[in-house]
Structure 1
Amino acid sequence: MEDTAARRAAEKLLAEHNANRRFKTLGPPDAPATISGAYDIQDKYVALLRGEHGGAVGYKVGLTSAPMQAFCRIDHPIAGVVLARRVHRSGASIRRSNFGRLGLEFEIAVRIKSDVPVTGMPCATEMIAPHIDGVCAAIELVDDRGADYASLDVLSLVADNSWNGGIVLSEFAATWPDLESVLGRATKDRVAIGEGHGRDILGHPFNSVAWLATQLASRGVVLKAGQVVMTGSVMKTVFPEQDASYRFDLDHIGFVEVQVT
């Protein structure tokens, strides 16, 4: 997408967020024509956010499970950027009023140990494991701004940083069980609200990281040591409507909690 047009669309997105306007599809002349154009807008939008929210410290991969793809009516993953001051530790208190509409997604996050090399070929899953040194339970804070999912446009969603509004992380585990079969359970005020397995994330969470590395490489970007990757939700998004405590337990790995007020 032409640089000036991408910048104009990004500025429009920022203004919509600041005015707390409902999410809507980008229209002419701001609408991207391709997925690459949508990521061009995302790059400009994230650059506008950095002054308030800090630099990039990782990425989110979204729409990696069948329930999430069905929910959003989109049949492929998408990526967004996680910014430093949007990273929270387990036990954090999050205010719904800071979001157009807050959603919680229950995920497996990984920490990158060493830069993932660009080979010119799609990154294979077996290439990823040596570049990961930590796994943890995580909750993504998404802001869909009350989107109408029946008419959701993937290009506008990607341009809006794939709706990432922050992440909440447990402590990283240096060793972990087979992530394909690991079970994650979500609760609200100690009452079960959903669950899913690692295999629900593109078959294995590392498949999600491999997809991301390939996507970044296509744009000349490298997945770097120290970055965190949110691999995608194991269950459908939860939208808190009142004060509550949420917890996500990953068997044999740990748990993460967030207070919504």
Structure 2
Amino acid sequence: MDKILAAAKAIALARRNRAPLAPLEVPPADEADGYKVQRALHDLLLPHVGALVGYKIGCTSQVMQDYIGIPHPCAGGVFEKGVYDSGAKLAASDYVRVGVECEIGVRLKRDLAPGEAPFTAEWVEEAVDAYAPAIEIVDDRYVKWETMGAPTPIADDFFAAGCVLGEAVPRSSVPDLKAVAGRVILNGEEVSKGTGADVLGHPHNALAWLANHLAAEGKGLHAGQLVLTGSLVKTLWLKPGDKVRMELDGLGTVKAQFT
């Protein structure tokens, strides 16, 4: 347990200092250890970042799995102080190297308790209250993530740095998520696009994966929590002054500026 806590402390220090994380002295040995470090990290971060209000799921699309080099989903935490409303103006200097992703956000209306596992896409859909267009804010907090393997980024919430949310849309009035097209507009110009089907075939598949992943650790999802289901597009790295807008058909738009 000491090496778990030591890794968590090193990551927490780097995050608080907004410093790139060098390879850990004793990195997590595998992904299971990575999630143990992540839980220890959350305990250390909570006084600074507010309550854990939900989760992000990374590597749910082929484009992201190819880009990151990890062939399966990975989860990280989303914290109260990192959640912003559409139109937010954020300082690029608050991040090591800030990027954004185009996502479908989910708000739960009921708990998904670990005892109910295994979960299916149909089951978790019934637990959804509303959806929202979302910009996931990611941060390349690493000296060189390409050489780290999966366990260390998992330990560090898998690049998660918060999100910007558009208006929520009740589940009853949402189109077929599989067919929802998402577009990324950077400084007024469309730079990439994807569809809900790019996220593990359907965003509900990603949500079911997360519920099952947490259940395996004896943890559940809770009513009111937010889940970012994964990017429809490859990560877009930003520079100060950039304005981004995500347009998701039937879900609306969400925008942010990084000054």
TM-score tier, shorter chain, comes to: over 0.9
Report if aligned partners of 1:102, 1:143 keep a CA contact under 8 Å in 2: yes
Q: Which of 178, 192, 210 is the equivalent residue of 1:180? A: 178
> 1:1-261 to 2 correspondence within 5 Å?
2=1, 4-28=2-26, 31-119=27-115, 121-174=117-170, 175-261=173-259
Deviations 1:21-74 (A, max 9, x none): 32333333xx11221111111011111111111011110000100111111111
Residues of 2 paired with 1:72 and 1:9: CA distance?
Answer: 22
Residues of 1 paired with 2:240 and 2:114: CA distance?
Answer: 45
More displaced, 198-207 or 12-21? 12-21
Q: CA deviation at 1:253?
A: 1.2
Deviations 1:202-237 (A, max 9, x none): 000011100000011011111110000000000000
Code of the aligned partner of 1:239: W
Code of the aligned partner of 2:86: S
Q: CA deviation at 1:123?
A: 1.4
Equivalent pairs, count: 257
Report if aligned partners of 1:168, 1:256 keep a CA contact under 8 Å in 2: yes
Code of the aligned partner of 2:106: V
Residues of 2 paired with 1:259 and 1:109: CA distance?
Answer: 19
Q: CA deviation at 1:120?
A: 6.2
Report if aligned partners of 1:23, 1:144 keep a CA contact under 8 Å in 2: no
Residues of 1 paired with 2:5 and 2:98: CA distance?
Answer: 26
Residues of 1 paired with 2:65 and 2:23: CA distance?
Answer: 18
Aligned-partner SS, 1:180: helix
Q: 1:110 to 1:120 in 2, by over 3 A?
A: closer
Q: 1:112 to 1:181 in 2, by over 3 A?
A: same
Report if aligned partners of 1:73, 1:152 keep a CA contact under 8 Å in 2: no
Q: CA deviation at 1:252?
A: 1.3
Q: Which runs of 5+ in 2 are unaligned?
A: none
Aligned-partner SS, 1:51: helix
Report if aligned partners of 1:25, 1:153 keep a CA contact under 8 Å in 2: no
Q: 1:146 to 1:117 in 2, by over 3 A?
A: closer
Q: CA deviation at 1:12?
A: 0.8
Residues of 2 paired with 1:209 and 1:162: CA distance?
Answer: 16
Report if aligned partners of 2:114, 2:214 keep a CA contact under 8 Å in 1: no
Report if aligned partners of 1:38, 1:155 keep a CA contact under 8 Å in 2: yes
Q: Which runs of 5+ in 1 are unaligned?
A: none
